[in-house]
Amino acid sequence: MNAVLISAEELRESTEENLRLLDVRWQLGDPEGPQQYQNGHIPGAVFVDLDTELAALPTPAQGRHPLPDPEQLQKCARSWGLCAGDPVVVYDALGGMSAARAWWLLRWAGITDVRILDGGLPAWLRSGGALATGVEPDPELGDIELDPGRLPVIDADAAARWEGVLIDARAAERYRGEQEPVDPRAGHIPGAISAPTSENLGEDGCFLPAELLRRRYHDLGDEPVAVYCGSGITAAHAIAALAVVGVEAALYPGSWSQWAHDSKRPVATGA
C-alpha cells in the first residue's frame, strides 16, 4: 500500500478500524461541493469545506487560501470525528486536485496515516463502489491533538531567494503570462520552472505510475524543492506526486495570489 495514495480497490477491501473518509470536493469558481456531496458520496464520508475549514480568510496580503489557524483546524478535525491513531482517506472528483490540500494540511499538522484516494470518486465508481446520498449523521466528536509544522513551508521572501528548484504548478499558459483569470498580474516568480499539476495524472484521473512521475521530475537532482500554484491548493498535489517518488518539497502557501498583489515583487513572463 502506498504511503501517499490508496487505490479504490484497496479502500473497498480495507479492514482498518476507525477509518475516516473526508470528501473534499472543491473547484475554483464552483460553490456546489456540498450539493455534489449530497447527490452522491462514499458511504460514511464527511464533507469538508475547503474554503472555510482548510484555509483562513483570504486577503491580498496573504493570498486566497492562507493556512488555517491551527486551533481552528483542530476544532474542524474533531468535528469530522478524527481521533488519535485514526487512518484518514481524502478524496474529491478531480484526481485529488483539492483533496491533496487536506492530505497536506493533515500531514503538516502531525497526522501521519492520511492518504489520497487515487482517481477519486470516478475511480471508486469504476471499482464498483456504492454511493450514499443526502447528509451523513454527524460523527461523534473526535479528540485529535494536532501538532502543526511537520512539513516544510516557505514565505514570499524565501521564494524570492530560493536557491533550489522552485516549481510553478499552474497551467503553462498562466506561468507564461498569456492568461491570468484570477490575479492582478500575469506571469510567474522569476527563476521558477513550469510543471503543471494536471500532468501528474493519467487519462483515467489517477496519478501516473511512480516511474513516470520520477521521469517527469528527473531534473530536480538533490536540490531543495519548493512548490507554488495560484493559491496553495494544487501545489499540494505536486507535493504529493513528489512524495510518491521520495522527494520532499516545501509549500509556498501564499503562492501567486499573494505574490501578484505585492507590486514590489518582480514578475517574469515567457517560457
Q: Which residues are catalytic?
A: 229
Calpha distance 264→114 (Å, rounded): 38
Cβ count within 10 A of residue 80: 22
Place of cell 504529493: 240
Cell numbers at 156, concatenated? 514570499
Q: State the alpha helices, DSSP H only, in the chain.
A: 8-13, 33-39, 50-53, 70-79, 99-108, 120-126, 156-160, 172-176, 210-216, 234-244, 255-259
Calpha distance 231→65 (Å, rounded): 6
Say how many CA atoms lie within 13 Å of 230 toward its Cβ: 23
Calpha distance 155→255 (Å, rounded): 9
Q: Report residue 105: phi and psi, to 5°.
A: -60, -45
> Which residues are within 8 A (CB) of 222 and not within 5 positions of it... i.e. 6 or more apart?
none
Among left, alpha and beta (phi > 0; psi -120 to 50; other), residue 81 is: left
Calpha distance 116→209 (Å, rounded): 15
Nearest to 159 by CA among 225, 63, 231, 66: 225
